[in-house]
Structures are given as structure tokens and as C-alpha cells.
Chain A
């Protein structure tokens, strides 16, 4: 089955800095890579996703890049703000049938004012 590794487990940055979270996956058949944000005490919510036919996707201050050859994808957050503080999860799945998501173990991002 799929295995998703996520690094780092914690990341502390100053407000205004950039933050990068990296994930690797094992199943070359995976073609859908969403990122979820979970604020303290809240539910995980999708913030951005990318499919394997695209190398990069941006949405305001967040972007995701995908390297299919290396089986590696990353989340980039620019101009971080305190409200970006949360746990971020990467995931991988196959866009076919009843495939489910395999999540990474999460990265706790702390943005200090």
C-alpha cells in the first residue's frame, strides 16, 4: 500500500518568513495530492491540492509543487502570518474508484509575531 512520509514534524518561523513542508510517497500510481490544515481543536480542512498532470499550483500565499519522478511534493507558504499556525497534513491517493487518502504524520507550524 501507499506510504507517505512528511517532514519536518515541527516548524517554527517568524511572521513574514516562508515555510516549506515536504512529503514523499511510495506508490507511483498515486496521482492526487491534497494538503489539509488543522487548527487547534478543529477539523482538518483542505487548503490546496494538486494532480499528477500538473507540476505546480498556487493559491494566493500558498503553493504546492510536485516532482513525479522523485515521488516528492511540497507545500510552500509565503509571508506567513500567526493565523497560519496549525498542523498541516499532506496526503496521497489514486483518482480512481474507491481509493482513500493516505496521510503523512503532520507538521506543526508555529508562526511567531
Chain B
């Protein structure tokens, strides 16, 4: 009965590869987000979706492409991975604009 779940929890891959992270929420929220947390712990918003529609797209390389097949899912696909993409990626959901519930995070390591 996890509220916001992400898979995988850890992802280790080589530079240049393509990878995806999946996120699901069972809270009935209408808005979902992707955040990147770098080694200095800074939480930076990447994308926000409301009812499957892209609302916010911060300055993120176009190698990052979110996809929301339905209100409960928001996946993140990353092409041509680079060393600088190594970080923890958090999915979150909310009934916008209130409290955001975060997933457990996916630690991405690019070698």
C-alpha cells in the first residue's frame, strides 16, 4: 500500500546508454513531479504534470523525456546518459498546490 513508488531503486549504467525510471502513485492525486537531487542535496524541479498534461518543464536537457500514460503514472526516460546525470531522482505527487508526497528515490550512477 505504498503511496508513491519508484522503480528501480538503484540504477548503474554506462555513459551513452538510455534508461527509464517508473513512478506510480495510488493517492488519487492530480499532479505528479520529477525532481533531481544532486550530491549537494539540492532538490531541483524538472517536470510537473497535471492530469497527464505537462505543466512545468524547467531548463532540462531534451535528453530527458517524461511520459504520463495516466494520472497515476509518470515515467522518466533519459537518452544518451552523461556523467553529470548521476544523482538521486525523486518522483512526487500532490493535489496541486498542496503537500507533495515523495517516492523513495532512484539513485542513478553513470560510469
Q: Chain A: residues with CB nearer than 8 A to chain B?
A: 32, 34, 38, 42-46, 49, 87, 89, 93-103, 105-106, 108
Give the residue of B41, B45, B102 whose beta carbon is less than 8 angstroms from that of A45. B102
**Chain A interface: which of B11-19, B21-29, B48-56?**
B48-56
Decide if B99 is an interface residue (CB 8 Å cutoff): yes
Q: Chain B: residues with CB nearer than 8 A to chain A?
A: 31, 33, 40-45, 48, 50, 55-56, 90, 96-100, 102-105
Contacts of B104 in A (CB 8 A): 42-43
Given A106-B42, A108-B41: A99 and B97 within 8 A (CB)?
yes
A28 to chain B, nearest CB (A): 17
Given A32-B97, A103-B43, A106-B43: A98 and B102 within 8 A (CB)?
no
B42 to chain A, nearest CB (A): 5
Which are the 4 A-B pairs with shortest beta-carbon distances?
A43-B102, A99-B97, A103-B43, A98-B55
Contacts of B48 in A (CB 8 A): 98, 100
Query: In the bound complex, how far is the Cα of B90 from the Cα of A95, in angstroms?
Result: 22
Query: In the bound complex, how far is the Cα of B45 from the Cα of A3, in angstroms?
Result: 13
Q: Are A49 and B99 in contact (CB under 8 A)?
A: yes
Contacts of A44 in B (CB 8 A): 43, 90, 102
Given A34-B99, A100-B48, 17 additional A-B pairs, CB 8 A: A32-B97, A43-B90, A43-B105, A45-B102, A46-B99, A46-B100, A87-B41, A98-B31, A98-B55, A98-B56, A98-B96, A99-B97, A100-B45, A100-B56, A105-B40, A106-B42, A106-B43
